[in-house]
Amino acid sequence: MSASPTRLPATGLPSAGLPEDRTVVRTLVSLKLRLLRNGLRRSRGRAVLYVLGAVVGVLFAACLAVLLALLGDHIEHGSAGDAGVVMTGALTVGWAAIPLFLFSSDESADPTRLTMLPLRPGPLLRGSVLAALLGPGPLISLVLLTGAALSGANGGASAVAGAVGVPLAVLTVVTLSRAVAAGNARLLSSRRGKDFAIFGGLLFALLVQIANVGSQSVFGKAGENGVDLGPLAPIASVLRWVPPIGAVDAARTAGEGRWPLALLQLAGTAALLALLLRWWRSSLQQLMVTADASTLEVVRGVQDSGRGRRFLPEGRVGAVMQRHLRYAWREPRAKAAVFTSIGMTLVICVLSIVQGWSTVYLVAMTGMFLGLQMLNLFGMDGSAFWMVAATMLTPADARDELRGRAFAVLSYAVPVTLVLALVLAAATGDWSGLPSAVGVAFALLGSGLAIGAVLSVLAPYTMPADNNPMRNAAPGQGGLVMLNSFGSMFGSVLVASPVVGYLVWALVTDAATWPVLLAGPLYGAAVAALGLRLAAGRLLERLPEILAKAVER
């Protein structure tokens, strides 16, 4: 007697899959909540800053939304709607750019963390959408877009269109951000992606300042009768037909009685949302089934390790220079520090040129900021510092270690300072002040090297273990960071005060300023050599404390 084979019902698999799909969605939402909660538990200061930032952000958004809603009572109603459209466009661009700059700082935005789990794209997409709507960002966007919709609203028809368009726009911008993150996850999680985030952040800051200057020049000559938002009209006339901006502007269109156009604006945003969800789903599916290229790449031989070595000093100094320069190029945090220093100077110089108060002596900031790249040398190495510490056995080794790092900083600080000095001289036409400006910049550069070397030995601090290049210290070490940052800047100016003081005296009394070109570099070199010697004298005895800070996480 043979046993009959057991057959599964035809509807068994789909019905069994539904509860599992709901479980995946609930798990992803709870995972986002747990990430938020655990992030706040890491330190009390971080929790306070997070809550305070969220509250301030919501209050600021509410005030801006009320201001937009009340604009129609004080200026022309169409101009108020134009302001809401432009703000919605800026918010949309911000959401699209967030993953490009802050991808590594949000664990829930990286879908590659889930590639090893047996998840289907459908439940993963639904859970990711709901998880992305949690947090202060979507709430602030909801408040701002509500104010943008009210700025052009008129009557009950606008209320109906706004009730549909505002949530639709919020869902679209959040989906846009996550779709961009998923579509570029491999790139953004790589070293090149972190480099792009650094350069993109500096470029974004420069564009914001340029936009600020441009807005002041456009609106600074507003009439005395009130605010003139007329320049926004041509921009808004184009943006209001671009989804998801059109979904918010549908409140104004419906209030004017043009329901077909309002429905067309809402339909355009809904179509964009469907396309973004499809792109997001296909990106998730590709990530789930495609192997990471980093696991397939064969380890290449270091054939070019000797390139450029002939231009470096012999012995330990040259080896330290090569190591430091490689770290400065490959390590995102080190690269962020270098290019932030250069970027801050560029932003200030551009603003000064545009606003008409520029001077060639602004190049002194470049020398000071780049000299401070000597700060926290060993904390930046992290746990790898134990290999460096194991090779420092004599005072000569300590001196060579610090000299190699100082020469590495000088190798890019000197050319950048000279190039920027020439650009400022050409922009301002003050070629006579160029020699003294370069001299005082080199004096501050040498002072920064000296102060940075001493503080690196006496006051090191722990760098965070995550991959976020925007975080420059572990929780609980804010005091040391403040001491290093502000103490080093004031200390550099104080140490270079003889050269700076002579320059100020010469400019006030119309005395000769050309001696600064000779005295500045010589004084900076002498101060730097003295600072390196003092720091090297304490480095060997401070190795255990420095190593403890470097490996602490």
Band of pLDDT at residue 252, cut at 50, 70 and 90: confident
Selection from 461, 457, 444 nearest residue 402 by Cα: 457
Per-residue pLDDT of 98-152, as tens digits, reads 776 665 555 666 676 776 677 777 788 888 888 888 888 889 889 989 888 888 7
Share of the chain above pLDDT 70, in %: 72
d(CA 114, CA 183): 15
Contact status, residue 146 vs residue 166, Cβ threshold 8 Å: yes
Domain boundaries, the chain: 22-202+230-291, 314-551
Give me the pLDDT at residue 337, please: 73
* Contact of 86 with 215, CB cutoff 8 Å: no
176 close to 276: Cβ distance less than 8 angstroms: yes
539 close to 458: Cβ distance less than 8 angstroms: no
Other C-beta atoms closer than 10 Å to the C-beta of 80 total: 26
Query: Residue 172: what pLDDT?
Result: 92
Return the pLDDT at 397.
87
In this model, does residue 470 exceed pLDDT 60? no
Higher-pLDDT residue of 260 and 465 is: 260
Q: Output the pLDDT for position 430.
A: 84
pLDDT surpasses 50 at 301? no
pLDDT at 347 over 80: no
> What does the block give as tokens for 55?
């509250």
pLDDT at 473 over 80: no
- Of residues 378 and 501, more confidence is placed in 501
**pLDDT (0 to 100) of residue 119:** 74
The DSSP secondary structure of 289-354, one letter per residue, reads: HS--HHHHPPPPP-TTTTTTGGGSPSHHHHHHHHHHHHHHHH-HHHHHHHHHHHHHHHHHHHHHHH
What is residue 17's predicted lDDT score, i.e. its pLDDT? 44
Is a pLDDT exceeding 90 seen at residue 442? yes
Which are the contacts of 165, defined by CB distance < 8 A and separation ≥ 6?
Answer: 149, 247, 248, 249, 250, 251, 265, 266, 269
Alpha-carbon distance values, 476 to 45, 50, 356, 461 (Å): 8, 15, 42, 10
Q: How far apart are CA 341 and CA 363, in angstroms?
A: 12
- Check: CB of residue 522 under 8 Å from CB of residue 445: no
**Per-residue confidence (pLDDT) for residue 334, from 0 to 100:** 72
| Mean pLDDT, all residues of the chain | 76
pLDDT digits (tens, 9 = 90+) for 54-72: 888 888 888 888 888 777 5
pLDDT tens digit sequence for 381-433: 777 778 888 888 888 888 888 999 999 999 889 998 998 889 888 888 888 88
Lowest mean pLDDT, pick from 168-172, 264-268, 286-290, 370-374: 286-290
- 194 pLDDT band, cuts 50/70/90, is low
CA dist., res. 320 & res. 20, Å (int)? 55
User: What are the Cα distances from residue 161, in Å, to 77, 260, 467?
Assistant: 18, 12, 43
> Where residue 50 falls among pLDDT bands split at 50, 70, 90?
confident
Q: What is the pLDDT of residue 204?
A: 64
Q: Report pLDDT for 291.
A: 56
d(CA 117, CA 124): 11
pLDDT tens digit sequence for 197-231? 556 666 666 666 656 655 555 455 444 445 556 66
Mean pLDDT of 4-19: 42
Tell me the per-residue pLDDT of 503-533, one tens digit each, with 9 for 90 and over.
Answer: 999 888 888 888 899 999 999 999 999 999 9
Q: Are 206 and 127 in contact (CB under 8 A)?
A: no
